[in-house]
Structure 1
Amino acid sequence: MSSFQVTGGKKLTGEIVPQGAKNEALQIISAVLLTAEPVTISNIPDIVDVNLQIELLQEMGVKVNRVSRDTCIFQADNVNVDHLGSEDFRQKSGKLRGSVMLAGPLLARFKKAYVPKPGGDKIGRRRLDTHIIGFQKLGANFHFDDAQHFFQLSTTGLKGVDILLDEPSVTGTANILMAAVMAEGKTSIYNAACEPYLQQLCRMLMRMGAKIAGVGSNLLIIEGVESLKGTEHRMLPDMIEVGSFIGLAAMTQSEITIKNAGIEHLGVIPEKFAQLGIKMEFRGDDIFIPYQEKYEIQTFLDGTVLTIYDHPWPGFTPDLISIVLVVATQAVGSVLIHQKMFESRLFFVDKVMEMGAQIILCDPHRATVIGLGRKHPLRGITMSSPDIRAGVAMLIAALSAEGKSTIQNIEQIDRGYQNIDKRLQALGAEIVRVN
């Protein structure tokens, strides 16, 4: 197990480029299974979760030419579908929640799929009902193997149908969409997720020959086609990294430029950090965060305490709730953080409180942060990363704290952030990876 040794209190300066979007990558890379023709994907984040997804494709027979660390040419013209039922596939895919995204393309093209018990972050219950019910409505049968903890899916042929999702699940929408593009007839998906990453997937599929209407809305209409062709696709910058870097700059009183930030795809993210009092300048597609002695949390118009909560797009992404909470600890003023979508994501705040932050954990979903306005700086401690986003929130706290901090279990951070230690070192951060 590796750790970061961090010496905080350093003001950072310079430019940083966000990686390709992790959450987009897991969908886009799965979609290469829909065609036997070459698919070129660029701006791929070089992170554990994405590399594991690529390994899964290779092991089932997909040809992968990694022309650079951020660009791959995939060709799924000789897929061994039987490998999906192997113990090796179950073990490896069970470590990665993104492996569930393979099911939709496999059902569409090969008429069978295997879905392992979800892996990934331990941030609460993340059920697969939306995926499985959607596949059933399209005409798939499933069997759950209690002993091996995985779903076996099969179909004699998917047929278009009207689907009302019980929740606007991003992965559920993407999976059902990929299954529907080659189903017979018309499929409508209502209450669909409409995140930029889902829109990216739709546009890629349309370049491959899929017929999709309603992109960017919560109602997708898909006319099934017999086959899809190859294409080229470039991923968006990772909005979670962009938000993380905005928070990092403010928390450490730094002056940072986030290059090629994909501003038009960030939604309300800049607005939420602005509500914490963080100043930003948009320069083309770059975000400049100037040095600030202090930043003050806004109130609602009637003077009541600000609440920041997560919500499906175009609401605020739950992946930045941990970052916002930590950044608020050194602001002036108070804010109620309400994490609605995952019941275990706030369980790292005890460590931030141990660092000296004033936080009231109301229940598993809500925490009140009383900003100290830097009157009492955070102090370095030893802590362990429970999930990707909490790990980076801890790292931001450590970089702003007095003294040295140790962050253990950084494999969680590596799952979602590419070479984060080296990229922050280039800004002047004092951070050392210890294996």
Structure 2
Amino acid sequence: MTNNGTFIVEGGHKLSGEIIPQGAKNEALQIISATLLTAEPVLIENLPDILDINKIIDLVDGLGAKVERLSRESVRITAKDIDIDYVLSEDYVRDAQKIRGSVMLIAPLLGRYGRASLPKPGGDKIGRRRLDTHLLGLQAMGADFQYDPSRHIYTFNTDGLVGTYLHMEEISVTGTANVVMAAVLAKGETTIYNAACEPYLQQLCKMLVRMGAKIEGIGSNLLKIQGVETLNGTEHRMLPDMIEIGSFIGMAAMTGSDLTIKDVRLDQLGLIPGTFQRLGIKMNFVNDDIHIPAQDHYEIGSFIEGGLMTLYDAPWPGFTPDLMSIALVTAIQARGSVLIHQKMFESRLFFVDKLIDMGAQIILCDPHRATVIGLDKRAPLRGISMSSPDIRAGVSLLIAAMSAEGTSRIDNIHQIDRGYQRIDERLNALGASIIRE
């Protein structure tokens, strides 16, 4: 894969056929981190083959775990002999900085070895994303941390993690994952209130239980965990990526395509299908597939009392913030208007200027809110040159370009590659025209 790269997208092509979503990126980051909690082998299947996941596997490999690539989508990790001194090496600091998910390696390393480090993490440029939730939770369980400003690195030490009562001040998925992984090997009982409860976190908890952890309340915001001495190996299969599924729903609507998304685990999608139906997108649910028929027009609903439809993100089981950019782009060619209220991140709407340049009718009210006035396909968007600011905005721009008249150029596509595997190849197989430069 190239470092930055460019997509040249010829718009106006309809897609048709079937697509299988990749394994869930956000789940995979947690699951790979959790392999460090045991000395026994853990087999992981349905992994997405994307930059962020390959980077975290490289970090685990660098720490001394035995990593066996069984196929593009499956890996066996045995974290028997870990070189804990490696966490302070220049190589680890450099590589861990590139990926925000490296924050979830702290708890497993602290739980088993009493030491860990974290360079100031990278990832999406979507505004402030605090680490307090992680650090305060681990501190309450008996971890000390220091910040070295010269190296931009946090170091963690503990004489042994101890269970405690934690009331999380924000519903952080990675923060909850970190304290859950710390609690399973801690002494005594840990109670986590206001815990994140999204499917990927439930998957992590279920895997830990198969490994011998004692966790009650999975799927709720109140978790009770009894620490155990050691954990065993296991096998785990990733859920399909709900963000990719939502992206394909929006893409089918915008391009007027007939598309079937296979094996979606409908029981784990929460509000996602219903939210896109509120934008007027027709869907047929057949077994575990979503079929989106070709639609010339789709109409945004309004609230029962006739008010303007508002879509906003919220922690699970609310609508995921990762699909707000996709919902916004999809609304551009709908009939009617919608207010998109991105509550959780403050810079995620700053890509709308590109959409306005393409001919979209969007009023950016403030960093968190945008009103989209649907064009109802009366006029197509026009192709332009643009750059991808983060993973989800990148795919939103790609969807806009695929629906546009003429050719668009999208730079900085490594941001798309971070979250979507071989997206150009997979969409071209359905009839898109995307050239990777």
Deviation, structure 1 residue 196: 0.1
1:162 is matched with 165
Q: Which residue of 2 is the match for residue 133 of structure 1?
A: 136
Q: Could you tell me how far 1:87 is from its partner in structure 2?
A: 1.1
> Out of 410, 418, 425, which is 2:428 matched to?
425
Amino acid aligned to 1:101: M
2:394 to 388, 391, 397: 391
Q: Which of the numbers 229, 238, 249 marks the counterpart of 1:246?
A: 249
Q: Is the counterpart of residue 259 in structure 1 residue 262 in structure 2?
A: yes
Q: Which amino acid aligns with 1:425?
A: N
* Deviates further, 84-93 or 199-208: 84-93
- Pair 1:404-2:407 in alignment: yes
Given the alignment of the two structures, is residue 218 of structure 1 paired with residue 225 of structure 2, yes or no?
Answer: no
Q: Which residue of 2 aligns with 1:45?
A: 48
1:59 matched to 2:62? The reply is yes
Letter in 2 for 1:251: M
Partner of 1:330: 333
2:312 corresponds to which residue? 309
Report the CA distance between 1:262 and its aligned residue.
1.1
Matched, 1:96 2:102: no
1:228 matched to which residue of 2? 231
Q: Which residue of 2 aligns with 1:345?
A: 348
CA deviations on 1:360-408 (whole Å, 9 max, x unpaired) are: 0000000000001011110000000000000000000000000000000
Query: Match of 1:24?
Result: 27
Which of residues 81, 84, 96 in structure 1 aligns to 2:84?
81
Pairing 1:414–2:417 present? yes
Question: CA–CA distance in 1 between the matches of 2:24 and 2:369?
Answer: 28
**Distance (whole Å) between structure 2 residues aligned to residue 150 and residue 284 of structure 1:** 49
Cα distance between partner residues in 1 of 2:47 and 2:134: 25
What is residue 38 of structure 2 aligned with on the other side? 35
Quote the Cα distance in structure 2 between the aligned partners of 1:431 and 1:234. Answer: 31
- Name the CA distance, whole Å, in 2 between partners of 1:231 and 1:22: 20
Q: Distance in 2 between matches of 1:71 and 1:95?
A: 23
TM-score by length of 2: 0.99
Q: Distance in 2 between matches of 1:356 and 1:242?
A: 26
The aligned amino acid for 2:234 is T
* CA distance in structure 2 between the partners assigned to 1:202 and 1:133 by the alignment: 21
State how far apart, in whole Å, the 2-side matches of 1:116 and 1:305 are: 44
Aligned residues: 434
CA distance in 2 between counterparts of 1:21 and 1:89 reads 25
Distance 1:260 1:20 in 2: 11
Q: CA RMSD in A?
A: 0.5
Structure 1 counterpart of 2:403, one-letter code? S
Structure 1: distance between partners of 2:21 and 2:301: 28
In 1: Cα distance, 2:404 partner to 2:180 partner: 45
Q: Which amino acid aligns with 2:391?
A: I
Q: State the alpha-carbon separation in 2 of the partners of residues 403 and 182 from structure 1.
A: 57
TM-score of the superposed pair, with normalisation by structure 1 = 0.99
**What letter is aligned with 1:28?**
I
Please state how far the C-alpha of 1:148 moved relative to its aligned partner. Answer: 1.2
CA positional deviation for 1:88: 1.1
| Residue of structure 1 in register with 2:6 after alignment | 3
Aligned match of 2:364 in 361, 364, 371? 361
**Percent identity between the two aligned chains:** 65
Say whether residues 1:284 and 2:287 are aligned partners.
yes
- Which whole-Å deviations, capped at 9, do the CAs of 1:335-383 have from their partners, x for residues lacking one? 0000001000000000000000000000000000000101111000000
* 1:118 to partner: Cα distance: 1.8
Distance 1:194 1:150 in 2: 30
The Cα shift of 1:134 comes to 0.3
Q: Does 2:156 match 1:153?
A: yes
Q: Among 178, 181, 184, which residue is 1:178 paired with?
A: 181
- Residues in 1 aligned to 2:289 and 2:251: alpha-carbon distance in whole angstroms: 16
Deviation at 1:415?
0.2
Counterpart-to-counterpart distance in 1, 2:358 and 2:12: 13
Kindly state the Cα deviation for residue 149 of structure 1 after the two structures are TM-superposed.
Answer: 1.2
Q: Kindly state the Cα deviation for residue 418 of structure 1 after the two structures are TM-superposed.
A: 0.2
Unaligned runs of 5+ in 1: none
Distance 1:2 1:181 in 2: 42
What SS does structure 2 have at the residue aligned with 1:168? coil
Q: Which residue of 1 aligns with 2:379?
A: 376
Structure 2 residue identity aligned to 1:378: L
Indicate which of 196, 202, 205 corresponds to 1:202: 205
Counterparts of 1:10 and 1:202, CA distance in 2: 42
Q: Does 1:107 align with 2:110?
A: yes
CA drift at 1:150 = 1.5
Structure 2 residue runs of 5 or longer lacking an equivalent are none
Q: Return the alpha-carbon distance in structure 2 between the equivalents of residues 132 and 151 of structure 1.
A: 10
| Deviations 1:251-276 (CA, angstroms, capped at 9, x unpaired) | 00000000001111000000100000
Distance 2:152 2:217 in 1: 36
Alpha-carbon distance between aligned partners in 1 of 2:415 and 2:117, rounded to the nearest angstrom:
25
The amino acid of 2:68's aligned partner reads N
- CA shift, 1:213, in A, is 0.1
Following the alignment from structure 2 to structure 1, what is the Cα–Cα distance between the partners of residues 186 and 368?
40
Partner of 2:71: 68
